[in-house]
Each structure stands twice: as C-alpha cells, then as structure tokens.
Amino acid sequence: MSKILIENVDLEFVFRPAGSIKDALVGKRIHEGEIKKVHALKNIHLELSDGDRLGVIGHNGAGKSTLLKTIAGIYTPTSGTVRLEGVPTCLFELATGFEMEASGYQNIKLRALMLGLTPREADAKTAEIAEFSGLGEHLKRPLKYYSSGMFLRLAFSISTAISPEILLLDEVVAAGDAGFIDKANQRMREMVDQVDILVFVSHSMDQIKAFCNRCIWMSGGRIVLQGEVDTVIDAYQTAMHLNPGNPELALNLE
C-alpha cells in the first residue's frame, strides 16, 4: 500500500545577491529588491494511491522536475505538506552521483548502500547489476575511463536495479547500442508495471500515453489542468498550437 498526499504545497527559491564577506565587512545591506524569488510551485494539491500512473507535462521551467524532487523529499516545500507512504526511487540526473576515480564495481556497491541496502544485500545485487550492464571486464576500471555510452549503461543498470514502491521518473533516455536500448526499455516497462505509484515527467506525449492513466499539465508552477491522459494532452497540444510561446494564455482564452 503506497500513497502520496500533497496539500497546499508552495515552493519558493530565494536567490540572494552573492553574499560576499567584503559586503558583510563594509556593512552593505541587502535590499529587498535585490533578493530574487522564483515561485517554483504554487498551491499544489495531489493525491495518488496504488495503481496511479501520473504523467506530468508542460513547458520547460513549468515546475515539473521541481515537483518530482519535492515528492522525493530532496526539496522541502516553503509551505504545505508532502506525505509519502512507501519507498520512493528517483530516476533523474542519471549521470551524477558517481565516484569517477572508483571502479564500476565499487560504484555499484556504493550506490546500493546509499539506496539503503546492507553490505551483504549490496554484494548480492552487484553481480546482477554487472550482468545487466553487460560491461564485463570494464567494470574493474575507474569510471573516468568510460565512454559516455558505457557510463550511461552503468548508471541505468544501477539506478533501476532496486524495485521501488514509488517510482519518480524524469525523462530517462537510455543510451548505448541498439541492443542495450531494447533491454533498457524492457526493464523500464517491467519497473513501471511493478511499482505501486508512478510519477512520470516527459515531453514525449507518446510515452505518457503508453505509461500513464492520469495526467497533469503544469505551467508557471501551477497545475493548470488535470484528468484523463487523452483529455489533458489534447488540451495541451491545442494550446501549444494556438499560441506556441505561451500555451497557458491560450488556455485562458478558451
């Protein structure tokens, strides 16, 4: 049984003008006007339970990834509450969070530990991950010598090895040769089928249609429309067509 409950969530990023010691020494005050605020999430309500597969669409900078990170607990909202029942796994920024000097094997172990496995469980998992990545002997070499394709194969294999209850997915593009892409896509599908709840951010309407049974459209940090996948996507695409620069405006005109 998993659940995501988001109530009244607001998130503001505050950018202070780079506070340097020089300014502090000469007693320079930071004026209100110099502090820039970005209201990344505005009054978000969401309730998801077992079986929900939520697609999140919208323009760049609409707050989609921020929403994902807030659900994951990486960002703490400025106000409102995020409650989670179940263990979340995030699949975004695939290429970060590795020790470049360490070998593939060491990175697998480390990541497994960070995801909460005990050393014994991590060792057991290592063989499985190594096998899936198909990198063989390369896993003994430090990551800094990997080609970008090899690197993504490893990252994908590690990140998808532990089946979560809640999967937070941000536009994952599998890389590597054709054979690996097939394998990766298949694993994605298995994962998506197995998890209790999926939240999927994507610009590919086909992918959203393939994976999701609910959809929200975000713009300017707000959920502007939610409902059936086809309905929301149609509205979004119509709005994009009417006014490519500012689809939200088009929506309001309707």
Q: Which residues bind another protein (CB under 8 A)?
A: 13-14, 18-22, 69, 72-76, 88, 90, 92-93, 96-99, 101-102, 106, 109-111, 113-116, 118-119, 122
Sign of CA dihedral 236, 241, 246, 252: negative
Beta carbon of residue 214, minimum distance to another protein (angstroms, whole number) = 24
- Closer to another protein by CB, 18 or 253: give it: 18
Q: In the complex, what is the shortest distance from the CB of residue 101 to another protein, in angstroms, rounded to a whole number? A: 4
Burial class of residue 201, CB neighbours in 10 A (0-12, 13-18, 19+): buried
* Nearest distance from C-beta of residue 29 to another protein, angstroms: 16
DSSP per-residue letters across 92-153: --TT-S--TTSBHHHHHHHHHHHTT--HHHHHHHHHHHHHHHT-GGGGGSBGGGS-HHHHHH
CB nearer to another protein: give 116 or 244: 116
Q: Which residues contact 244 (CB under 8 A, 6 or more apart)?
A: none
- Which CB sits closer to another protein, 11 or 208? 11
The Cα 250–Cα 254 span in angstroms is 7
CB of 239 to another protein, least distance (A): 31
Contact between residue 146 and residue 156 where contact means Cβ atoms under 8 Å apart: no
Give the shortest CB-253-to-another protein separation in angstroms: 35
Nearer to another protein, 83 or 209 (CB): 83
Measured from the CB atom, is 31 or 120 closer to another protein? Answer: 120
The three-state secondary structure class of 81 is strand
Token pair 């067509």 is found at 241
CB closer to another protein out of 59 and 111: 111
Q: Residue 4 pairs with which residues in a beta bridge? A: 48, 84
Q: Do residues 214 and 52 lie in contact, with contact meaning Cβ atoms separated by under 8 Å?
A: yes
- Report the distance separating Cα 184 and Cα 107, nearest Å: 19
The distance of closest approach from Cβ of residue 123 to another protein in the complex, given in angstroms and rounded to an integer, is 11
Q: How far is the CB of 86 from another protein (least distance, A)?
A: 13
Q: Among residues 98 and 156, whose Cβ is nearest to another protein?
A: 98
